[in-house]
Amino acid sequence: MNTCRVRFAPSPTGIMHIGNVRTALLNYLFALKNKGTFILRVEDTDQDRNIDPQVSIFNHLTWLDLNYQEGPIVGGSFGPYFQSQRHEIYQKHLVQLQELQSVYRCFCTQEQLEIKRNRQIALKNPPRYDKTCTKLSATDIAAKLESQTPFFWRMKIDETQTISFKDLGHGTLNFDLKNFSDFAITRTDGSFTFMFANCIDDITMQISHILRGEDHLTNTVGQLTIMRALNHQFPTFWHLPILCNVTGKKLSKRDQGFSLEDLKNEGFLPQAILNYLGIIGGSFEKEILTIEELAQAYNFDNMHTASQIKYDVEKMKWVNHKWIAQTPIHELVQLCKPFLAQHYDITELLDEKLAILIGSVQTDIVILQDVCTLLAFYFVKPTITQDQIDAAIADQSTSQSIAKILKDHADESNFTDFFNAAKKDAVTQGIALKDFFAYVRLMITGSPKGLGIAELEKCLGFEEIKQRICK
Ligand code: GLU
């Protein structure tokens, strides 16, 4: 069996955000690089907060083309891949821990725990469970069970011990367990906590490497006490630096570009999002990279660790711009269509024509939705003011002469004759061609810069061009 097994383990409790995507990506790259297995596990133990994982996770991973080899839908030999369906597995491991006397029942109520906690905080002590329930005698316990006092199971931590494990970013990390609290592994209703379910899944799914956010570092220490109790070999970890916004604060819902859905709706390409998330936090000679190139470029044995990584949407736009510029035109047409359709009626527009239109502005598209403004001239005839004309051609008599020349040739039967004749007149009258072109373009598109005149004619046709410039 392959020894490299990594997993992406999202909780379907909120939107898929850019931090999740980065975690998924790094796991994917790690598997790719090490010819390992990339697994999706849905951590849906918090039933009240679950939103539909079909929409929030599977669709997004498919869109990103981060395909997993084991997980929901595709299956695998370590399923089920939804935590909500793994209760029996957890129960079995709880029994093992009971037999090993590594766990104990805690009868403390939430109120009691809260009071103790506040007292410790007031005394400036780290809030840790005081192990009251480890002191209960067998008779005390029997009495409480008899009276059906609610309880939950806690992991017993031996505070004289330490935990050491390997982290790809930090090297070997050592933690004194005296700083850790006996933590809950079940709830009073018999359900299992994240700490326990997540760890038992990693054990039973034989996960070899755990790549997840640095915010899980404390959980890791607790979870390794479970692994140690169950005599399971520790996986290797990589605690990933947390993504921050440009001001250095932890990325939040309020930050632009936080939600993957928003990025998709604005017209970021999946390749560009992954490319950008792959290069931040590292230094790469070449910055525009495919997934395969990223996997090659990563050296997981030598990951230097930044404490935080800045997520900068502007830089991601730059990456997106590069990806759009290199997208084959027939693909770009398909990508742009839904955006255009939101603003204009494109039902009659053939793909060939769209290819000319989009091709002519391709290098100006930063995010796909830009195509709507860039091609607005095609769908809506621009209204040009005298101020716009003056801004493009400083001398009013020049612009008036150009307008007259164009009108004079309006009867030509085809565009080439019309345009050449007008151009010739302009030259004869000493008009700079730069001004002549700027005027023609302005009248057609509303901007003196941009598309070549021949392209505009291809898109709009001679009649429409005439309408716009010979009024
Ligand atoms: N469900 C956890 C989360 O979304 C998974 C953490 C892990 O990867 O272990 O944060």
Nearest to 212 by CA among 78, 36, 3, 25: 25
- Whether 214 is in the pocket of ligand 1, judged by its Cβ within 6 Å, is no
Which helix (H) or strand (E) element contains residue 402?
helix 396-408
Integer Cα distance of 194 and 26 in angstroms: 22
Distance between CA 424 and CA 194 in Å, rounded? 78
Tokens of 456: 């505009």
CB of residue 239 inside a 6 A radius of ligand 1 = no
Ligand 1 binding pocket includes 245 (Cβ within 6 Å): no
Q: Which of 5, 201, 202, 216 to mutate to test the pocket of ligand 1 (most atoms within 8 A of CB)?
A: 216
Supply the residues annotated as catalytic: 253
Cα-to-centroid distance, 202 and ligand 1 (Å):
11
Ligand 1 atom at minimal distance to the Cα of residue 215: 10
Cα–Cα distance measured from residue 94 to residue 76, given in angstroms and rounded to the nearest whole number: 24
Is pTM beyond 0.85 here? Answer: yes
10 in contact with ligand 1, CB cutoff 6 A: yes
Measured distance CA(38)–CA(15) in Å, rounded = 21
Nearest-CA residue for ligand 1 atom 5 is 9
CA dihedral 457, 458, 463, 467 (to 10 degrees): -40
Contact of 415 with 465, CB cutoff 8 Å: yes
pLDDT at position 50 is 62
CA of 305 to the centre of ligand 1 (A): 20
- What are residue 37's DSSP bridge partners? 5
Output the CA 77–ligand 1 centroid distance in Å: 21
Which residues, other chains included, contact 270 with Cβ-Cβ below 8 Å and sequence gap of 6+?
A: 63, 64, 65, 264
The response to whether residue 198 sits with its C-beta less than 6 Å from ligand 1 reads yes
Residue indicated by tokens 């992991």: 155
Type of residue at 194: F
Over the chain (471 residues), the average pLDDT of each successive run of 10 is 87 87 97 96 78 74 96 94 96 98 97 92 89 95 97 96 94 94 96 96 98 95 98 96 90 90 97 96 90 91 76 96 98 98 94 91 96 93 92 92 93 91 95 94 88 85 89 69
Q: What is the pLDDT of residue 245?
A: 92
The CA 298 to ligand 1 mean position distance, Å, reads 23
Cα(227) to ligand 1 centroid in Å equals 17
Where does 267-369 have alpha helices with state H?
A: 270-279, 291-297, 313-325, 329-343, 351-361
Quick one: which of 175, 238, 205, 170 has its CA closest to 80?
A: 205
Nearest CA residue ID for atom 3, ligand 1: 10
Residues 6+ apart with CB under 8 A from 149: 107
